[in-house]
Every structure is written in structure tokens, then in C-alpha cells.
Structure 1
Amino acid sequence: MTETDKTEAYIQKKKELLAQNADCGNSHYNLGVAYLSQRKWQEAEDEFFAAVESSPSLAEAYVQLGGIRMHQGDLEGCLFFNKKATETRPKFPIPYGNIGFVYLQLGEPEKALEPLLQALSLQPKFVQAHTTLASAYFALEQHDKCIDHCERALKIEPKFAPAYNNLALCYHEQGKHKLALENMDKAIQFGFEVNSDFQKMLEAHR
């Protein structure tokens, strides 16, 4: 059985469960996730809305709705649904991390700080939140704080390429070109697509 066949069988099973119990929020949520894996965005969205209607505390469904909005390029919609997730479950770290990321994408790094710090207070080993926070500090020219959070991320996940890229950017700004090159090389090694202009600029110092 192929992965596609397995997913179709899984979807059919969930539909059968929902035919017997249409108010099962978890079944709607799981069906939505299966549709996401097939890139069936509208079907997934319908199931996530059904999930929160049946189970209003299912914050994960709001996060998934935010993810769909992000995929569609609707940053404000992504922000809205992740805020709904924090209202639904205030101690769930993922939506706070997402809110910080969206503010960064909107060019408002100062607004990103509070939700990202909240995410990390709830989950200190949240690697993505450390790196997004580092990016916010870099945008605010607080390079020492950027470096600190990149190093914290790498203690948790030593191959997390975006953290190495942030370190390369910071060390370049500080004129520490050898360190910048070392971190750029690691970012590339672990799969990060470094900005070509930045790469050329650093290569000149090799």
C-alpha cells in the first residue's frame, strides 16, 4: 500500500467515525491534518472549523487554521488564529512562537519580543522560538542578545541551520569575519539557503 493509499484509507476511517459521532472534535482535527498532508486546503480548513465548534478548547485547530492562512500569504489571518489559540489555551507555547514569527514577517520586530519570550517561558527548549527571537533582536540591532539566543538554540539542536545563519549575520555586523564565515559554512552544511549577496560579501574575507 502506498502512502497515498494509506492516507485515503485513514481519511475514510475518520469519515466513518464522524458519521457515527459528528461532534467529535478530535476526529475532525485528525481528518483536517490528513487533508493538509494532501494539500487539500479548503477541506482541511472546514474540518478545523468543525473541530473548534465541537471542542472549543482545541487550540491546535486554531494553530492549523493560522498555518493555512500563512500558506495563503494572509499574515493578518495567521495572527488572528494564533491569538485565538492563546486565548483558548494560554499555556500552549506554539501559537506564541507563531505570533512572534508573524510580527517579524510584518516588519514589527519590537512586537515580536513579548510573545516569543512568553513561548520560551512556557517551553524553554523551543528551538524555533529561540531562533525567531534572535532574528527579532538582530532586526533591532541588539546583536549580543541575538547571539545569546542562537547559542541557546544550538545547545538544544546542534544542527539547526537558521541559528548558524543568524550568528553569521551578527558576527559580520560586529566585524568578526572569521566567526561569520565559520557560522555561514555551518548554516550551508546543515541545509540553509544563505542569501547569495551576503555569501559573496563574506567570501571576500576568506
Structure 2
Amino acid sequence: MGIAYGKLGSPALMGEATAEFRQALSLNPSFVQARYYLAREELDAALVQVPGHPQFLALLGEAERQLGHPQRSIELNQQALQVDPSFAQARYYSGLALLDLGRRDEAIRELERVAQSGPELAEVYLSLGGAYLDAGRVDEALGALRHGNRIDPARPDIRIRLARAYRSKGLLDEADKQLKLAESAGSTALASPGFEQVESDLYLEQGLVTLQQGRLDAAADAFKKVLDRDTNNGPANRFIAEVYLLQGLYTLASAHATRAEQLGFPLPEDKRKLLQEKLHSKKTGRQK
């Protein structure tokens, strides 16, 4: 890429833009947004010097997506694809932006095109597998995620998503196996700042698997690890409320259920009613 930048006449500027962008992907999330702003400024400047360059358009599109502007990302990546319809990177970023906009079927079509004709990249199969899972297409998700795992067996995020797929099929032993492999394979990566989200995803999935296995103490411990990292994690608040409800810890269950609802992850209606009944019975019992 550096050679290409040199041929385009401004290697220092282009190199700095790309370096900023790549660094943003590996830093602590609390610093990432500032890096994306810097990358956007550099890439805007690059496109003034080299208008219509598909690589810069795609990178700028992804920076815009990371900054919360998925529609702008799609527009930029479509510009890149008009210049080079075979440019897999732009199509991949466009697929991610479509996912952000909730246009899942369109995103799946874009990601499938990348998987069919683009380079063999684990990230593509991770994203495609996740989209299949969200669409309820579990068998296709398993196929995509297994393929991604074959490309890069050391990536814990793929194994975590594989665990989710196996859990969705009720294959809890296989899900548990994938989580242990994810923890082992990612022990070094999970300790780095850029993998905080992966770490939270790992503990959340561990909690969901152990909850489904009926191992309530283990589930509670896993969800607590998520909440230690982010008290505003909606799913963790919701599911630890379910654990506490099953354990008879109704006051704790109520506190987390309230927080989960505020975050957009309410308890299912049957569990919410059961919790209210238990709290009412407890209150009535004290009054007596």
C-alpha cells in the first residue's frame, strides 16, 4: 500500500491517514472516536489530492460508519464501487453500514458477494455469520463461522459467535467447548485494551450458556464480569435479573430488571409478572 501511495504523489499524507485509521482499530475504545476523527480529516485531505480514489473512499466510509454515520458510509463506499465494482473492501464496509441501519437482508447480500468473490478474510465470515444468526439462519451461520475459524483459528471473536450459534441449536456442550477455546486462544489478545468488547462478549456468552445449562452460580459470575466492565450492558442486566429471580434474590433481580428495561432490554412479560408477584409476596410477608 505504501508503494501505491508513493505513486499517487503524497505518500506521507496517505501513510499517516491509513496509520491513524488502523491504529484506531486496535486502541482502547475510549480513545477510538478521536482517532477516527483524525483519520477522517486525513482522508478528506487525501481525496482532495487524489479525487475518487477507491481505497481512500472506502476507508473514509468506514471512518464515517465508526463515527455513527452509516448512511454517509454507504454513499462513500458506493462511490468507490462505481470506480471499481470488484473492490471487495468497499463492498464489505457497505455491508457493515447496512447492518448498522438495520437493513439486514441487503447487508447479507453484500457480504455474500464479498465471500463469494473477495479475498479469504476471517472478518467477512464473522460479519456474515453474525448477520445469519440475527436472521435466524443458524445452519448458514454455522457454515460461515466454521469457515472463518478455519481461516484464522486464533480469533476468539469467531469462536464466541460459533458458541452462540451452537447455543441457538441447543448444542450446549459444543458451545461451551468453543468458549473455552476462545478463552485459551485469546488469552493474550483479551488482555489488550482493544479487545475489551470481545472480552465482554465472551463473558456474556458464557453466562448465557451456563444459564441454559441451569448452572446459576456460574451464570451469575459471568454476567457480573460483564457488568464490572460496563454497568450499562443491557443484556447482562437482563439476564442476571433472570438468574437472581431463579435464585430467589428478588430485590437484586428487580434492580437489574429495572436497569435492563431502561437500557431497552426488558424482561419477558411472564418473568416480569413473576418477579412482581414475588416482590409483592415478600413485602406482604414482612408487613405481617
Q: Closer, same or farther in 2 for the Cα pair 1:167/1:9, shift >3 Å?
A: closer
Query: In the comparison of the two structures, how many residue pairs are matched?
Result: 201
Task: Please tell me whether residue 61 in structure 1 is matched to residue 90 in structure 2.
Answer: yes
Larger Rg: 2
What is the identity percentage for the equivalent residue pairs of Structure 1 and Structure 2?
Answer: 17
1:115 aligns with 2:154: no
Could you tell me which residue of structure 1 aligns to residue 229 of structure 2? 190
- Conservation of the 8 A alpha-carbon contact between 1:134 and 1:146: yes
The equivalent of 1:92 in structure 2 is 121
User: Structure 1: which amino acid aligns with 2:46?
Assistant: K
Counterpart residue number, 2:206: 167
Within the candidate set 101, 123, 140, 2:169 is matched to: 140
Consecutive unaligned residues in structure 2, runs of 5 or more: 1-33, 250-288
Aligned residue in 2 for 1:14: 46
- CA drift of 1:196 comes to 4.2
Following superposition, the deviation at residue 138 of structure 1 comes to 0.6
Over aligned residue pairs, what C-alpha RMSD do you find?
2.5
- In 1, are the aligned partners of 2:163 and 2:205 still within 8 Å (CA)? yes
CA deviation digits over 1:125-180, x for unaligned, max 9? Answer: 22221111111111100001111111222220266112212222222222222222
- Aligned-partner residue type, residue 13 of structure 1: A
Distance 1:49 1:152 in 2: 38
The alpha carbon displacement at 1:51 in A equals 2.3
Tell me if structure 2 keeps the 8 A contact 1:29–1:48.
Answer: yes
TM-score with structure 2 length normalisation?
0.62
- 1:77 equivalent in alignment to 2:109: no
**TM-score normalized by the length of structure 1:** 0.84
Q: 1:42-76: CA deviations, max 9, x gaps?
A: 44323212323434553221111011111111111
SS at match of 1:194: helix
CA contact (8 A) 1:165 1:187 kept: yes
The worse-fitting range, judged by mean Cα deviation, of 47-56 and 159-168 is 47-56
User: Residues 227 and 237 of structure 2 are in contact (CA less than 8 Å); yes or no, is this contact kept in structure 1?
Assistant: no
Q: For residue 161 of structure 2, what is the amino acid of its counterpart?
A: T
**Cα deviation code 1:61-108 (max 9, x no counterpart):** 111101111111111111011112112324111111111101110122
In structure 1, list runs of 5 or more residues that go unmatched: none
- Which deviates the most, 139-148 or 81-90? 81-90
Q: What is the CA distance between 1:8 and its match in structure 2?
A: 6.1
Q: Moved runs in structure 1, 4+ residues, more than 6 A?
A: none
